[in-house]
């Protein structure tokens, strides 16, 4: 079986989806293909998200917000949306989850840490589902 691919989507691809992608890469290693994108990508990643992830040893500073394109979404097995509502694409036969998470934009570090930790918990659950123990 080929490794599963996960696409994290939020509006700006600057906070939640970048933190989720960082966690999945960190926790899943080579077991899962990780992608992230936004329907209206920001200019840069939220500095508070970068700082919160740096505190747990995950460096997302080199990541850039990317526009969500049809091919990336179509090629992903699991699409996790985070507050992008109607602008998130729907593809038949894909697994969808909508994670209700606070937007870290404009928030202080304490709030972003809480969001980061909630994302970690969700990513751990997702990883356990995608990579069952043999």
For the annotated catalytic residues, the residue numbers are 10, 84, 88
DSSP alpha helix (H) spans, the chain: 16-28, 47-55, 70-74, 109-130
d(CA 24, CA 18): 10
- Classified as helix, coil or strand, 64 is coil
- Classified as helix, coil or strand, 38 is strand
| Residues shown for the chain | 134
d(CA 81, CA 134): 29
Residue with tokens 């990780």: 34
Signed CA dihedral, 22, 127, 87, 101: sign only? negative
């Amino acid at each position: 079986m080929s490794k599963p691919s996960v696409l994290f989507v939020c509006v700006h691809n600057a906070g939640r989806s970048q933190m989720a992608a960082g966690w999945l890469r960190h926790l899943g290693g080579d077991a899962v293909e990780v992608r992230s994108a936004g329907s209206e990508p920001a200019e840069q990643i939220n500095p508070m998200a970068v700082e919160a992830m740096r505190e747990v040893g995950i460096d997302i500073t080199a990541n850039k917000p990317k526009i969500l394109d049809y091919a990336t979404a179509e090629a992903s097995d699991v699409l996790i949306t985070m507050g992008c509502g109607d602008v998130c694409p729907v593809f038949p036969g894909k697994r969808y989850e909508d994670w209700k998470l606070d937007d870290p934009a404009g928030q202080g570090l304490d709030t972003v840490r809480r969001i980061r930790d909630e994302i970690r918990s969700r990513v751990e659950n997702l990883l356990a589902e995608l990579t069952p123990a043999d």
